Structures are given as C-alpha cells and as structure tokens.
C-alpha cells in the first residue's frame, strides 16, 4: 500500500486467470487441489489476493486461512468490515468440505450463519480462520468456522451448509 502526500492510499492487485485453476480442480481431489494452491503449484483464487489472505494449513476435513488486518479491510467506522470476517470463514469452511471431495466433485455454500463476537482492527494483529467439517452426506455437508486472534481469543464463529455438486450422469 502506497501513501501520497495527501494521505491517500493506493493498492494494486494482480491475479492469474481463475478458470485455469478451476479446470485443474476437476482433475484432482479437493485435498490435492488445495495442497497445490498452498505450495504455489496452482495460483491462489482472486478473492484471496483481493482480501490478502493466505492458505496456511490443509488436511482432510480441516483448513486454516490467515489474514493480517489492514486499512483496506476497514468499514466507515474504523473496524475491519464484518464481510471480511464472513468471507474468510466461508472460505475456510467451504475448503474444509472440499478436502473430502473426489476429483470432479465440487460444492457451493447454500447457507451460512456468522456471529461476530469482537471487533477486529489493525491492533488485533493476525487472525486465523479454521474451518472444520462436521458432517458430510451424499448431497450436503456441514462445516464450522472459528476466527481467532494470536492469543486464541474467539473473534467470530460460523456454521455453513454446502451443497455437493456432482457431475450429471
């Protein structure tokens, strides 16, 4: 982020074609795909670059993303916008579901509930969103998300229902 003499800040974001990654996803299990993103073999999706979050941990049924709050995340009253927390949690929960899916099978969030428990600011420091699969059925999956600060304090909690998208037969 650059600052001008007037105090105006700027931020430039560059990303690669997201459809290339989407095509690769069809050929890999969800776990393989997310691990490929984590190690840089597949570019991160544009949303991760836009909001500036990282994929830190990937295992079957559990994923962790991290974010360092920045001014570009702020709402008009000087706090990180609740939508940033919700997006981070949605990403973690959906990815936890994705880790259990075979090649060619996708998912989409159909319902999400988020409880924001503490404000997030620059002073909060880095935050971690942990998504954990709670139940996987043949058509839907349920996941939980927890957003915590470096001291482990709970900042937000979420649950998500995802629809499993299988190819037409």
Tell me the per-residue pLDDT of 21-68, one tens digit each, with 9 for 90 and over.
999 999 999 999 999 999 999 999 999 999 999 999 999 999 999 999
Question: Whole-angstrom Cα distance, residue 113 to residue 122?
Answer: 25
In 28-151, which residue ranges form alpha helices assigned H by DSSP?
A: 30-38, 46-51, 82-98
Integer angstrom CA distances of residue 1 from 15, 82, 124: 17, 21, 19
Tell me the per-residue pLDDT of 139-151, one tens digit each, with 9 for 90 and over.
999 999 999 999 9
Q: Residue 91 CA to chain centroid, in angstroms?
A: 3
Question: Whole-angstrom Cα distance, residue 11 to residue 51?
Answer: 11
Question: Whole-angstrom Cα distance, residue 119 to residue 81?
Answer: 9
Question: Whole-angstrom Cα distance, residue 142 to residue 75?
Answer: 30
Question: Whole-angstrom Cα distance, residue 61 to residue 164?
Answer: 15
What average pLDDT does range 86-111 have in this prediction?
A: 97
Q: Where are the domains of the chain?
A: 18-165
Does residue 168 surpass a pLDDT of 90? no
Does residue 112 surpass a pLDDT of 90? yes
141: its two tokens: 């999956």
Does residue 1 surpass a pLDDT of 70? no
pLDDT, averaged across the chain: 95
Q: What is the CATH number of domain 18-165?
A: 3.10.129.10
Neighbours of 16 (CB within 10 A): 13
């Amino acid at each position: 982020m650059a600052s001008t003499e007037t105090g105006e800040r700027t931020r430039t974001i560059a990303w690669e074609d997201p459809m290339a990654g989407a095509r690769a996803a069809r050929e890999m299990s969800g776990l393989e795909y997310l691990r490929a993103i984590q190690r840089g073999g597949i570019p991160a999706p544009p949303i991760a670059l836009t909001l500036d979050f990282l994929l830190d941990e990937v295992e079957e049924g559990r994923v962790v993303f991290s974010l360092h709050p920045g001014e570009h995340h702020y709402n008009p009253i000087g706090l990180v916008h609740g939508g940033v927390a919700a997006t981070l949690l949605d990403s973690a929960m959906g990815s936890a579901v994705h880790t259990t899916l075979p090649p060619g099978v996708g998912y989409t969030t159909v319902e999400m509930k988020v409880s924001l428990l503490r404000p997030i600011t620059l002073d909060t420091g880095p935050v971690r969103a942990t998504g954990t699969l709670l139940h996987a059925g043949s058509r839907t999956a349920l996941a939980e998300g927890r957003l915590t600060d470096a001291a482990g304090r709970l900042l937000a909690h979420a649950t998500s229902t995802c629809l499993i998208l299988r190819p037409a037969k």
